[in-house]
A and B are shown apart, each in its own frame.
Chain A
Amino acid sequence: MYIKLKGGRVYTGKVVKIDDRDEHHPLISIVDQYGRDVAFDVSEIKLIQQEAA
């Protein structure tokens, strides 16, 4: 998956979890291209697609 955040950061990796315990701030967890675990608020996402454009 290719994910671009509103802040400009870009990740390529696998989305492993969507946590909507807080319905207003759902969290998304990914394992990025370097194998790091990254989590951020769904509202930070600007673009998400299967592959880089």
Chain B
Amino acid sequence: MKGKEVQISTREENLYLFVFDLLKEGLRPSQICKRLNLKKQAMQYYLSSLKQKGLIKKIGYGVWETSTNINPQEVQKTTRLTHINPQQICTSFAPDTVRAHAFQFTFEVPENLRNWDKRKEILQKLGISFKELKVFGGGEQIEFKGRKVWLTNKSIIIFEKASYLAETAEQAKSYAVAEALETIKAFEHHIQANLGRYRFKVSRQHYALIKNALAKQYDKEGNKLYVASEQGSFWFIIDNSFNLHEAETIHPKTAVQDNKKIQDFFNGVKQLEGFTPQFVVNSLGIQAQNIENYAVHLKSHVKSVQDLGAAVLELVKVVKELRQ
């Protein structure tokens, strides 16, 4: 009896590199389909994945441009990406919603923490892999639940990758801090250490206003904006880093307050429609003209009062003469 013919799925095979190489050679997707015996739908699957990874770009009907710098490992690891990505989710938010991100929390290690100086041996004993840190004073880098964690002599630094969304920077920060406290608790358990009462600071924090009007204008013109304080540290930037037309406040200490000021400014502009710098300049011009007119009128009034004064004196003279 003839066995049932089984079609072997090509989905399990890694064809990304083949597809990429053939596109680079200048073949069209339909030609690649014939060469690799792929269905149209499968071809679309590979194209969309490579496109979302930013490795290829459509420049015409059936014509794709490939990126020059490519890491084969990266292509091999490429999996089908989700239809909706985090950026697309953020585009659903109202303009000037705050996206807090790039958090770095520094937890102080108590001076009397037992065996902290022998932490390398303990990490090895616990089977936790780490990398040596090439920073001043040395330290270890650990990967914990997808986050980068640095252990130094005086502190534990957690680098948070997630974005927190809220209407205000304070609210977004509170979400991030709540999560950081949960993370450090789990991390204590992971490395079997007890920090006692937590003493920590937020040593990096960025607050971006999504779909900001000013950022849109800058991004449209392909410009970037970096504003530094008088002390020389940047506190406000527009660089379209997340492709969301974001205006970001990034000062490690004042980012929350700065963001509130920026948000209040833009909300103010939105409420006072037509309140533009041009409007202010025009209004000041009108005011100046009014003051000038007033001065001219005042001069003529003074003249009239002087004339009146002279007439009164003349009248007094006449009255005196009549009495005599």
Contacts and interface: CB of A to CB of B under 8 A. Distances in A.
Categorize the interface residue count of chain A. Answer: 20 to 34
B319 to A, nearest CB: 85
Contacts, number: 64
Contact of B92 (A17, A20, A48): A48
B97 to A, nearest CB: 9
Given A18-B86, A42-B86, A50 B93 contact: yes
A17 B147 contact: no
B175 A17 contact: yes
A20 B85 CA distance: 10
Closest 5 CB pairs of A and B: A21-B146, A43-B82, A19-B162, A18-B163, A18-B86
Given A17-B163, A21-B161, A43-B84, A28 B89 contact: yes
A41 interface: yes
14 contacts: A14-B165, A16-B165, A17-B175, A18-B86, A19-B163, A20-B86, A20-B163, A21-B146, A21-B161, A24-B82, A28-B89, A48-B89, A50-B93, A50-B94
Interface residues of B, number: 24
A47 to B, nearest CB: 9
A15 interface: yes
A15 B82 contact: no
Interface of B: 79, 81-86, 88-90, 92-94, 145-147, 161-166, 175, 179
B162 A42 contact: no
Nearest to B89: A48
Nearest to A23: B81
Nearest to A41: B82
B100 to A, nearest CB: 10
A26 B82 contact: yes
A42 B145 CA distance: 18
A20 B84 contact: no
A21 B84 contact: no
Contact of A18 (B89, B94, B145, B179): B89
A1 interface: yes
